[in-house]
């Protein structure tokens, strides 16, 4: 095969570059495993820093780490990682201190029974998530999703991670270069060189000469050096739907060494954005993401300081120096063009709500590894499918994130009012909301097997935010009544059982450091 793809060049060494390298190399570059191993080179600038945030993942990260070949014990120990079981929202609905949860476990019996209409009919119902999943009972006590005897990557309740992004990239770098045969070049790419067809032939670097390849993966962060700058693929702003464009990120020490580590990301709404609070074993990652059109940097910083003061004390609030990160919410019009595909911030970024960026990197790297075009000839076919799939994913991210804002009844600022303006709501979301007034979301609302957000996630946000669906009058609903009552009962019993059986996050992490998880 004359035009065989045999050499892949990744430019960029942040989470996107190293995760992509790991997933592709584990599949294609190990000589003993792949019949015709590919060569993979990662070029990373010694001067341009990584973005250094991105501390919340999805449960999909467990399968990705396993695929890359990392042990969970090593990962937890080396990335200052902890266990994340979902998100805990405060002040999103009215701003009066109310809370709700979006856990990673689907409602009990979800495959056969839609509990939402039955919950809506209950008098004195507990909160929706509490009624349908035992997982939220673990949030309050900062409990872990598994025991030390649970094997690596297996779970008692579904979970993801909180991690230190810098340590994560470093662990992946070591693993990729020492175990997976990835070649690491530390140099600045200064020029992109095309052949006569228009494909990229090589990139010129300042200290390692020209590096040639067959497929180029652009992981250069917001620079988007290859896809954006070289190929001039236009950037599509999505700020008309989701306004946040600035973040202040801080690292906050625990007041006491043995303080409880939260089991979920805390997301507390503010007057023009929201504050994330992520518990790692050695510190908390706390940041304020907001719309610069609706609040000044000084006011946003004051809200962040007030939050840190209230939750970590005056000393911590006085000692932190938040870092400002500006970003443009949106994505490239396409992601794979000719022999170049952009992954991570170079392809786009909306905002950190629901932590959807790292999972997009996992999905992108996974699709490339699974559908690696063997020749240049078929690359355009794969690229076309890739672009269609990822455009759909971006639309789904925008619709799902916007759901969190449109359901708010906060009146305390123009930000929340603007978020409810009909012109700021994607048409599809408006349609769905009108339908869900009469029928709860469930399996019929899934579009494809690889939808980014399961329909259960829509239920958690809708009913957590006080949305009401009219009670159904169908025969099948009446018939399911008894099964639903039994599922609610089982859920309460399971929650009590798990609260007794599971250790705290802090206890489990201590044991992982001491003994490690069982390997299978
Ligand atoms: C405020 C904020 C909070 C976030 N929180 C989350 C979260 O909780 N969960 C989540 O999933 N995601 C989150 N994200 C997104 C997440 O941080 C990124 O998706 C992730 O870190 C990947 O970044 P990256 O590797 O694409 O870019 P970067 O980290 O910016 O890496 C770019 C790389 O390209 C290299 N480079 C640039 N120019 C050149 C050149 N000329 N030559 C050679 N190399 C070059 C740089 O040296 C660097 O190695 C957040 C983002 C922001 C802004």
Distance 329 CA to ligand 1 centre (A): 14
Closest residue by CA, ligand 1 atom 37: 220
Q: What pLDDT, on a 0 to 100 scale, did the predictor assign at position 29?
A: 87
Residue 38 CA from chain centroid, whole number: 29
Q: How far is CA 365 from the centre of its chain?
A: 14
Report the sign of the C-alpha dihedral through residues 234, 237, 238, 241, in that order. negative
Phi, psi of 356 (to 5 degrees): -95, 5
Which residues form the pocket of ligand 1, taking CB atoms under 6 Å from any ligand atom? 11-17, 43-45, 48, 50-51, 53-56, 165, 188-189, 219-221, 223, 225, 247, 249, 287, 289, 325, 327, 344-346, 349, 352, 355, 357-358
207-211-215-218 Cα dihedral, nearest 10 degrees? 10
Report the nearest atom of ligand 1 relative to the CA of 247.
1
Atom of ligand 1 nearest to the CA of 47: 47
Cβ 75 vs Cβ 81: under 8 Å: yes
Specify the pLDDT at position 448.
87
As a whole number of angstroms, the distance between CA 179 and CA 161 comes to: 23
Pocket test for ligand 1, best of 9, 16, 41, 397 (most atoms within 8 A of CB): 16
- The pair of structure tokens assigned to 425 is 């709501």
Cα 359 to middle of ligand 1, angstroms? 13
Q: For residue 306, how far is its CA from the centre of ligand 1 (angstroms)? A: 28
Contact (CB, 8 A) for 382 and 373: yes
Q: Is the pLDDT of residue 270 over 90?
A: yes
Please name which of 187, 211, 190, 188 lies closest in space to residue 201, comparing C-alpha atoms: 211
> Which band of pLDDT confidence, cut at 50, 70 and 90, is reported for residue 28?
very high
CB 219 within 8 A of CB 14: yes
Q: Whose CA is nearest to atom 38 of ligand 1?
A: 220
Which residue's CA lies nearest to atom 27 of ligand 1? Answer: 221
220-245 pLDDT, tens per residue?
999 999 999 999 999 999 999 999 99
Which of the four pLDDT bands, split at 50, 70 and 90, describes residue 447? confident
| pLDDT of 35 above 80 | no
Nearest CA to ligand 1 atom 7: 54
Tell which atom from ligand 1 comes closest to the C-alpha of 190: 41
Dig out the tokens for 339 from the structure: 């022999």
Q: What percent of the chain has pLDDT over 90?
A: 91
Confidence of residue 255 (pLDDT cuts 50, 70, 90): confident
Instruction: Compute, in angstroms, the gap from residue 25 CA to the centroid of ligand 1.
Output: 20
* Whether the predicted pLDDT of 351 surpasses 80: yes
- Measured between alpha carbons, how far is 462 from 129 in angstroms, rounded to an integer? 11
How many A from CA of 343 to the centre of ligand 1? 10
Q: Which atom of ligand 1 is nearest to the CA of 249?
A: 1
Looking at the predicted structure, is the pLDDT value of residue 181 above 90?
Answer: yes
Q: How far apart are CA 439 and CA 497, in angstroms?
A: 33
Q: Which atom of ligand 1 is nearest to the CA of 355?
A: 9
Determine contact, residues 35/67, Cβ cutoff 8 Å.
no
Q: Which structure tokens are listed for 158?
A: 């579904």
pLDDT tens per residue, range 48-97: 999 989 899 999 999 999 999 999 999 999 999 999 999 999 999 999 99
Instruction: Show Cβ contacts of residue 345 under 8 Å, excluding neighbours closer than 6 positions.
Output: 14, 16, 51, 221, 222, 224, 357
Residue 187 has pLDDT above 90, yes or no: yes
Q: How far is residue 281's CA from residue 267's CA, in Å, rounded to a whole number? A: 19
What is the DSSP secondary structure assignment for residue 297, as one 8-state letter?
Answer: H
* Three-state SS at 266: strand
Cα gap 419→437, rounded to integer Å:
20
- Between 304 and 125, the more confident residue is 304
Gyration radius from the chain CA atoms: 23
Residue 219 has pLDDT above 70, yes or no: yes
Within a 10 A sphere around the Cβ of 248, how many other Cβ atoms? 23
Our mutation pick for probing the ligand 1 site, out of 352, 355, 452, counting the most ligand atoms within 8 A of Cβ, is 352
Backbone angles phi, psi at 385, to 5 degrees: -65, -40
Q: Mean pLDDT of all residues in the chain?
A: 96
Q: Which of 221, 245, 347, 348, when mutated, tests ligand 1's pocket best, judged by the most ligand atoms within 8 Å of its CB?
A: 221
Scan for tokens 């190293």, then name that residue: 18
pLDDT at 265 over 70: yes
Q: How far is it, in rounded angstroms, from Cα 177 to Cα 503? A: 36
* CA 484 to centroid of chain Cα atoms: 32
Predicted confidence (pLDDT) at residue 406 exceeds the cutoff of 90:
yes
Residue 520 above 70 pLDDT?
Answer: no
How remote is the CA of residue 194 from the centroid of ligand 1, in Å? 26
Mean pLDDT (whole number) for 477-495: 93
Report how far ligand 1's centroid is from the alpha carbon of 14 (Å): 5
pLDDT of res. 1: 59
pLDDT band, residue 124 (cuts 50/70/90): confident
| pTM for this prediction | 0.97
Separation of alpha carbons 383 and 389, rounded Å: 10
Give the pLDDT score at 510: 96
Structure tokens at 218: 């652009």
pLDDT at residue 156 greater than cutoff 90? yes
Determine the residue of 43, 49, 51, 248 to mutate for testing ligand 1's pocket, defined as the one with the most ligand atoms within 8 A of the Cβ atom. Answer: 51
Q: Is the dihedral of CA 12, 14, 15, 19 positive or negative?
A: positive
Confidence at 518, pLDDT banded by 50, 70, 90: confident
Distance 214 CA to ligand 1 centre (A): 24
The structure tokens listed for 457 are 């996630």
The two three-digit tokens of residue 5, written as one number: 């793809």
The rounded Å distance from CA 66 to ligand 1 centre is: 22
Gap between the Cα atoms of 327 and 290, Å rounded = 11
If pLDDT is split at 50, 70 and 90, which confidence band does 480 have?
confident
Which ligand 1 atom sits nearest the alpha carbon of residue 356?
11
User: Torsions phi, psi of 33, nearest 5?
Assistant: -105, -50
Q: Which of 18, 19, 54, 82 to mutate to test the pocket of ligand 1 (most atoms within 8 A of CB)?
A: 54
pLDDT exceeds cutoff 80 at 34: no
pLDDT at 477 over 90: no
Q: Whose CA is closest to atom 19 on ligand 1? A: 357
User: What are the pLDDT digits (tens) for 194-214?
Assistant: 999 999 999 999 999 999 999
Hey, which of 9, 10, 15 would you mutate to test ligand 1's pocket, going by the most ligand atoms within 8 Å of its Cβ? 15
Percent of the chain with pLDDT over 70: 99
């Amino acid at each position: 095969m004359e035009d065989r793809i045999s050499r892949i060049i990744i430019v960029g060494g942040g989470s996107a570059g190293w995760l992509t390298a790991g997933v592709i190399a584990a599949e294609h570059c190990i000589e003993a495993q792949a019949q015709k191993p590919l060569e993979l080179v990662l070029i990373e600038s010694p001067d341009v820093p990584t973005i250094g945030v991105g501390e919340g993942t999805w449960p999909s990260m467990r399968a990705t780490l396993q695929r890359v070949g990392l042990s969970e014990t090593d990962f937890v120990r080396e990335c200052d990682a902890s266990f994340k079981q979902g998100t805990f929202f405060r002040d999103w609905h009215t701003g009066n201190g109310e809370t709700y949860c979006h856990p990673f476990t689907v409602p009990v019996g979800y495959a056969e029974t839609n509990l939402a209409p039955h919950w809506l009919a209950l008098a004195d119902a507990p909160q929706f998530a509490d009624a349908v999943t035992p997982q939220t009972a673990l949030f309050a006590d900062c409990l872990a999703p598994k025991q030390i005897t649970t094997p690596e990557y297996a779970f008692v309740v579904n979970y993801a991670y909180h991690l230190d992004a810098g340590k994560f990239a470093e662990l992946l770098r070591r693993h990729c270069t020492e175990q997976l045969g990835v070649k690491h070049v530390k140099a600045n790419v200064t020029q992109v060189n095309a052949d006569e067809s228009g494909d990229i032939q090589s990139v010129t670097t300042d200290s390692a000469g020209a590096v040639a390849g067959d497929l180029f993966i652009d992981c250069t962060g917001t620079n988007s050096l290859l896809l954006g700058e070289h190929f001039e693929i236009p950037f599509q702003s999505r700020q008309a739907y989701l306004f946040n464009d600035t973040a202040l990120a801080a690292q906050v020490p625990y007041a006491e060494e043995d303080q409880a580590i939260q089991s979920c990301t805390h997301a507390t709404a503010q007057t023009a954005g929201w504050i994330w609070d992520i518990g790692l074993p050695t510190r908390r990652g706390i940041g304020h993401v907001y719309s610069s059109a609706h609040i000044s940097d000084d006011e946003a910083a004051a809200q962040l300081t007030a939050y840190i003061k209230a939750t970590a004390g005056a000393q911590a609030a006085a000692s932190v120096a938040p870092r400002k990160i500006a970003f443009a919410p949106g994505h490239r019009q396409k992601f794979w063009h000719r022999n170049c595909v952009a992954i991570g911030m170079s392809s786009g970024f909306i905002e950190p709500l629901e932590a959807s960026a790292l999972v997009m990197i996992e999905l992108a790297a996974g699709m490339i590894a699974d559908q690696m075009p063997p020749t240049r000839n078929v690359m355009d076919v794969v690229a076309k499918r890739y672009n269609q799939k990822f455009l759909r994913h971006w639309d789904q991210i925008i619709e799902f994130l916007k759901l969190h804002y449109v359901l708010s009844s906060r009146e305390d600022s123009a930000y929340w009012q603007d978020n409810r303006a009909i012109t700021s709501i994607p048409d599809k979301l408006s349609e769905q909301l009108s339908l869900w007034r009469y029928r709860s979301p469930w399996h019929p609302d899934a579009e494809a097997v690889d939808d980014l957000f399961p329909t259960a996630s829509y239920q958690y946000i809708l009913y957590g935010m006080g949305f009401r669906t009219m009670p159904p009058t169908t025969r099948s609903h009446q018939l399911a009544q008894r099964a639903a009552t039994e599922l609610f009962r089982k859920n309460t019993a399971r929650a009590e059982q798990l609260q007794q059986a599971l250790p705290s996050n802090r206890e489990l992490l201590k044991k992982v450091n001491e003994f490690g998880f069982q390997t299978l």
